[in-house]
Structure 1
Amino acid sequence: MQQRSPRGFPGYSDAAPLDLDGLGPAARQGLMDRVLGGTFNAWADAASRVGHCAHPIKLVGSSSRVDRTTGEVVSSYSSAHEPFGVTYVRCGNRRASVCPACSRIYARDTFEMIRAGVVGGKSVPEHVSSNPLVFLTLTAPSFGPVHTAKGGQRCRPRDGHAVCEHGRPVACWQAHESDDTTVGTPICPDCYDYTAHAIWQWWAPELWRRFTITTRRVIAQALGVPDSRLREVATLQYAKVAEYQARGVVHFHALVRLDGPKSDAGYAAAPASISPRVLAGFLEEAAARVRFEAPPCAGHLAGTLRFGAQVDARPVTATRGDDPDAPLVGEQVAGYLAKYATKSASDTTDPRRECGHYRRLRGTIDDLADERVAGDEYELMHKWVHMLGFRGHFSSKSRRYSITLGALRRARQRWQRIAADCAREDREMPVLDFADLIADDEEETTLVVGSWSYVGTGWDTDADTALALAAADRARAYDQWRAEQVRTH
């Protein structure tokens, strides 16, 4: 397929400068100082090398690459040779609200990791696409009525004269838009059970762990084998992300796949008796059965915790067909999960949502943390107030689902190093095998020896940071435009 010239991108020419309207007087002066002082080009090169990271790590030191066999120094590098005397390294933050540039890389890696478990590739065999696959969503239970957006329908049309025990109306006749900051806030804050919300959020990772155990037991029972021997018949694999709902509680999205017996090769064909729809039924049954008796928290009885009644388990196909009523497409779902993995934590820091509901929830968690007993299960709760009490991983997978994020990062770093060596030595870039790029470090023919010290984080001025953010936003827009050109041509 012939690619269109990047000059067709609406923001490519000089007539479409970066959006710097938000720069204050001090930042504008800093930008002028860069240009007039002759350091702008050097800064632009440094920013480009870290992909316009918003908060790069600054290091000083040097390193050398040594041949493992001969001990010969192949190459050397020192931060002293950089224009500003420091080496900038990406911050690597996955949150789009913290660093848009690094979160895009995290999302891309997450997408490739999840996609490989759907259609194969990246060291995963293509026949994995024949195994049953389900897109699962598990929600939290209700802790009290909240305002909702229902696609133009009224929020909670009830008896307009009825009031709760605190004298507030129980009805809401407005039709909220999805971006309305009222969405997710309680109809009555005093009726809303903030303590139960905080405790459920704290134990959500445990509920997920128990869900995976229960699912394996349900499958073993259906196949007529003991739980301990299920791996001889089938194995459960998944890639899961957590996303904050507007009310400030997480729910889980996951791609769940059933493989055949456990082996060194992995990815064997699943039992013929289990189709994607049958697997979806097993997941729904397991979600309904999961229970956890949470220990008391600061004198509050937590009771029995469970997932919400809204469980969505939908079969997934590897590729899109012609039937509009066909199951979800794996690559489409992989894109959803990658997006959730980078945006989920940012919802709790969105200034538009710094409403009374979020402040009260954080206050509840603070109070519970202050009242907890040293050594109990809630001892570290105060460290997770900023995450509204959720202490789990936002993105995780089972061991055999697909390739790891670490292997993808290692492949990218090795490719970049080889490309840099080829450019420095003025030689042609070789054809690289992905298996070599993800090989363990023990298979490397060279050893990196260095000494580095941390000297700070972030750019030197607000103008530098604003420029990096604007450039990262332009790069994101270009990637979206280019993807659209590929789809439409």
Structure 2
Amino acid sequence: MRLDESVARRLRSEEYDRWMHNVASTGYCLNPVRLVGSSTTLHEASGEVLSEYSSAREPDGVTFTRCGNRRATRCESCSYEYKGDTWHMIMAGAAGGMKEVPEEVAEHPMVFLTLTAPSFGAVHTTAVDRRTGVCEHGKPRGCRCHHDNDDPQRGDAVCAECYDYVGHVVWQYHAPELWRRFTIRLRRELARSLGLTQRAAARVVRLQFAKVAEFQRRGVVHFHAIIRLDGIHQQLPFPAPPAAVSTDHLVAAIQSAVKKTSVAAAQLPGDARTRTLTWGKQFDVRPIVRREGLDGALSDRAVAAYIAKYATKATEDLEPTGAGRDHIKRIKSTVRELAAVVDPEGPYEQLHRWDGMLGFRGHFSTKSRRYSVTLGSLRGARRTWRLQHLLAKTKPTEEIRPDEVLIIGSWAYAGMGWLTNGDKALAREAADAARQWRHDRARDRNTPPTERSTT
């Protein structure tokens, strides 16, 4: 069936309004999960049935739910929700005053840290490399030309033969372990900065952090993190550290820990090299500004938005033209080549799973347990809100708490995506309209009434 015929068929359907309601209920997801089954909502104490639901009553006999993909290139709607949740999680721990995190947490010593990977060879950048001469393959030793930010060549190796693709993949594969070692080293360096033993420091101060990974244009991750110092208290979830503990202590500890952290990478079959993995020489650590009314580059609000933005990026963002960069293809092929020769029970046994992520096997968003709220708790709050909304409709005169409700369901997976290309096109158009409405609403909130258009 042609696209226009498929669209027209849905528009003429008697169940169109109900179908469009289902599109909205998925948050305008581009690739929703299709489910078949039913559920019953009960009052747990009395056994009274509050509501019943079955996918058989829906158009096409299926129920749609979000795909939940965090990548903006895969589903902009679900990515938007994930980004919002990440922002709330980050912001709660940075500024407080929301999500059950007290405002006083903003007064704790806190910094914004960026850690990069070392160089694996010269790449094309926006800055001109002043190195002279050529390599053994006749290519310049550095990029001698200027590239705009949207230049598709930016990030590619100047000489692919000189670039250490194996070292790139090995570092990327071990990056999560390098971060873990860094957090361990940081606690030691913090104790040294405070003039205490590590055991004594653990009794007075605790490290908290929230971190995201971002792919640089050269195809390697670097990390952005908010690192905060809390005190120790049995009753308080976010106690302040002693007054003598300052941001300067934290900055000094981080600077020392970055330089001292290393990981000895396991040897690859047929490779006699011993690789000691470290962070790149370019790292940045700066205190977060928390003066009221300030919204600069290092304000808590700006940092939270910056980190949340990169939590939804992916390797697809490295190829803005969609044509596929040779540099990225070379990294992926290196992952596959190494995965083909490694010991299936050795330290690189999972490498074959990560060619799509260029060898990176870590989480893109992580946090320490006591930094702030969890993403799961934010999703749970939405489920509770929906349940309260249901109770308000079914039992408007009775007070039934969500924790008194029991939901019994039986569901089966029926596939992914909208059933036809026409349905997908309509869902995409509805999503674009919803995003435009959201954009206009945000613009109007930030525009004085006298400056708004009356047309």
Give the TM-score, by structure 2 length: 0.92
> Comparing 29-38 with 98-107, which one deviates more in the overlay?
29-38
Q: How big is the shift at 1:348?
A: 5.0
2:281 to 288, 309, 332: 309
Unaligned runs of 5+ in 1: 1-24, 437-442
Any idea what the Cα deviations from partners look like across 1:401-430, whole Å, max 9, x if unmatched? 0011100000011112222332456x4999
Any idea what the Cα deviations from partners look like across 1:231-253, whole Å, max 9, x if unmatched? 31100000100000000000000
Distance 1:335 1:377, change over 3 A: same
Q: Letter of the 1:309 partner, please give it.
A: K
Q: Say yes or no: does 1:80 pair with 2:27.
A: no
Q: How big is the shift at 1:349?
A: 6.5
Give the superposed CA RMSD: 2.3
Question: 1:445 and 1:321 mapped to 2: Cα distance?
Answer: 43
Q: Say yes or no: does 1:447 pair with 2:401.
A: no
Question: 1:348 and 1:176 mapped to 2: Cα distance?
Answer: 15
Question: 2:83 and 2:47 mapped to 1: Cα distance?
Answer: 39
Q: Say yes or no: does 1:482 pair with 2:441.
A: yes
Q: How big is the shift at 1:361?
A: 0.7
Q: How big is the shift at 1:479?
A: 2.7
> Comparing 384-393 with 74-83, which one deviates more in the overlay?
74-83
Stretches of 4+ moved more than 6 A in 1? Answer: none
Question: 2:49 and 2:368 mapped to 1: Cα distance?
Answer: 40
Distance 1:281 1:479, change over 3 A: farther
Question: 1:488 and 1:110 mapped to 2: Cα distance?
Answer: 26
Q: How big is the shift at 1:353?
A: 6.2
Q: Say yes or no: does 1:421 pair with 2:391.
A: yes
1:251 match:
222
Distance 1:374 1:131, change over 3 A: same
1:54 match:
30
2:452 match:
none
Unaligned runs of 5+ in 2: 449-455
1:374 match:
344
Question: 1:67 and 1:403 mapped to 2: Cα distance?
Answer: 29
Q: Identity over the aligned pairs, expressed in percent?
A: 44
Question: 1:339 and 1:474 mapped to 2: Cα distance?
Answer: 22
- 8 Å contact from structure 2 (residues 31, 418) kept in 1: yes
1:185 to 156, 174, 178: 156
- 8 Å contact from structure 1 (residues 320, 329) kept in 2: no
Question: 1:192 and 1:428 mapped to 2: Cα distance?
Answer: 70
Q: Say yes or no: does 1:272 pair with 2:243.
A: yes
Q: Letter of the 1:156 partner, please give it.
A: D
Any idea what the Cα deviations from partners look like across 1:260-306, whole Å, max 9, x if unmatched? 11534221112323333432232121111101111102232351000
2:193 to 209, 222, 235: 222
Question: 1:262 and 1:232 mapped to 2: Cα distance?
Answer: 9
Question: 1:462 and 1:342 mapped to 2: Cα distance?
Answer: 26
Question: 1:477 and 1:281 mapped to 2: Cα distance?
Answer: 46
1:471 match:
430
1:149 match:
126
Aligned pair count reads 446
1:21 match:
none
Question: 1:267 and 1:333 mapped to 2: Cα distance?
Answer: 20
> Comparing 173-182 with 45-54, which one deviates more in the overlay?
173-182
Give the SS at the match of 1:413.
helix
Q: How big is the shift at 1:457?
A: 0.8
Q: Say yes or no: does 1:140 pair with 2:117.
A: yes
Question: 1:252 and 1:401 mapped to 2: Cα distance?
Answer: 17
2:332 match:
362
1:26 match:
2
